[in-house]
Amino acid sequence: MDQALVFRQLFDADSSTYTYLLADPVTQAAVLIDPVFEQHGRDRALIEELGLTLLVTLDTHCHADHVTGAWLMQQAVGSKIAISGRYGDMVKGADYLLDHGDTVTFGRRTLEVRATPGHTDGCITYVLDDHSMAFTGDCLLIRGAGRCDFQQGDAKRMYASITEQIFSLPADCTIWPAHDYSGRTSSTVAEEKAHNPRIGGQADETDFVGYMENLGLPHPKKIDIALPANCVCGQPEDGKMPTVADWGPVRLTYGGVKEIDPQWVAENLSSVHVLDVRGPDEFNAELGHIREAQLVPLSQLEDRMAEISAQQPVVAVCKSGRRSALATAMLKKHGHPDAASLRGGMLGWNDAHLPVARD
Ligand code: FE
């Protein structure tokens, strides 16, 4: 099974949440654990760029510190939403209600569902088929454990969850938690058994419960927003998908570039300003140019910024979409409100058989 898993750990700095992408490289079937609402564009772009098919988003629990991106993914790519069924009527809108012993299949791989309550009633640890990885949510953290003092928290139950369901995994099983606040990315069962300051070493249930019940943590700052939103799987109150730009179907790449589809640009040329940043020789060479385009070579753009109209959104164009991406960043730096790069550049434009001019 080596090389048989695509795996990415993603981070949301605002909530210190880890999101995990797992996929079978042969079938391209993917799952996404604990997506974050605000990172939807990033996650979606990565899934597309890797050529994966997202089957399902898996929340480890109903979160109180950030809003899940599950609903957004369902709307965008048709993925299913899965969460524990143990929340009962509290959570609405999920496609699959999971329970202990269930399996989630993606291509040739599976995740095993282990109920690990204690932080909340519906906390799940997802364990990879070969027991090499465990996604522990807010149950076992790196040198820590999720708080047990709100929602349906119960330190005794968490002690049982960790010792029976997680510490029973192989010593070298990697622990991938839902959060870390100190830059630590992963651990192992052996490491946490030995060194976890709350439950490691010689700690017994009395030690653990005594520790957890006296943490004195502040109320989670986003709970009043996050909890109601997560009870509907992250569907916004207005039921609308957030957009990158209000003027057209602009998409953000995983690299952070705003891109727009050539077909849309061809159909909406009157509502955008096309800025070609290639050299004059390329402008009239075999790929041609978009008839309405203004030619300002990238090397001159900084000096000629005043010539770029701010009346309409700018679509920057080059040969392949690389120099135009830099042009959009330069426009942004100079305060231009709306700019996007033509996806695929003139190569893509020609491939789509869209009209070109040559002077
Ligand atoms: Fe949590």
DSSP per-residue letters across 68-79: BSHHHHHHHH--
The Å distance, Cα 119 to ligand 1 centre, comes to 7
Same domain, 175 and 299: no
The Å distance, Cα 102 to ligand 1 centre, comes to 21
CATH number for the domain that contains residue 270: 3.40.250.10
For residue 241, being part of any structural domain is answered with no
For residue 265, being part of any structural domain is answered with yes
For residue 260, being part of any structural domain is answered with yes
Domain end position, chosen among 176, 195, 230 = 230
The Å distance, Cα 249 to ligand 1 centre, comes to 34
For residue 112, being part of any structural domain is answered with yes
Same domain, 183 and 261: no
Same domain, 225 and 258: no
Same domain, 222 and 301: no
pLDDT at residue 140 in the model: 98
Same domain, 13 and 155: yes
pLDDT at residue 150 in the model: 84
The Å distance, Cα 41 to ligand 1 centre, comes to 22
The Å distance, Cα 204 to ligand 1 centre, comes to 23
For residue 262, being part of any structural domain is answered with yes
13: burial class by Cβ within 10 Å (0-12, 13-18, 19+)? exposed
Domain end position, chosen among 230, 265, 295 = 230
DSSP per-residue letters across 138-201: TSEETTEE---SSTT--HHHHHHIIIIIITTS-TTPEEEESB-SSS---EEHHHHHHH-TTTST
For residue 245, being part of any structural domain is answered with no
pLDDT at residue 359 in the model: 80
Q: Distance between the two ends of the chain, CA-based, in angstroms?
A: 57
Three-class secondary structure assignment of 250-289 = CEECCCCCEEECHHHHHHCHHHCEEEECCCHHHHCCCCCE
CATH number for the domain that contains residue 115: 3.60.15.10
Same domain, 226 and 255: no
Same domain, 208 and 271: no
Same domain, 264 and 213: no
The Å distance, Cα 155 to ligand 1 centre, comes to 14
Q: Is 323 helix (H, G, I), strand (E, B) or coil?
A: helix
Q: What is the pTM of this model?
A: 0.94
pLDDT at residue 1 in the model: 46
Looking at the structure of the chain, the number of domains it has is: 2
10 Å Cβ neighbour count for 307? 11
The Å distance, Cα 222 to ligand 1 centre, comes to 11
The Å distance, Cα 22 to ligand 1 centre, comes to 21
The Å distance, Cα 61 to ligand 1 centre, comes to 7
| 231-233-236-240 Cα dihedral, nearest 10 degrees | -150
Element at 223 (helix H, strand E):
helix 223-230
Same domain, 162 and 15: yes
Which parts of the chain sit beneath pLDDT 50? 1-2
Same domain, 120 and 256: no
Domain end position, chosen among 230, 263, 280 = 230
Rounded Cα–Cα distance for residues 89 and 135 (Å): 25
Same domain, 210 and 330: no
Q: Output the CA–CA distances (angstroms, integers) from residue 312 to 272, 329, 337, in the order listed.
A: 5, 17, 9
Rounded Cα–Cα distance for residues 67 and 20 (Å): 16
- For residues 192 and 198, the answer to whether their CB atoms sit within 8 Å is no
The Å distance, Cα 44 to ligand 1 centre, comes to 23
For residue 324, being part of any structural domain is answered with yes
Same domain, 201 and 328: no
Q: Go through the chain and tell me how many residues it has.
A: 359
Domain hosting 345: range is 251-351
For residue 98, being part of any structural domain is answered with yes
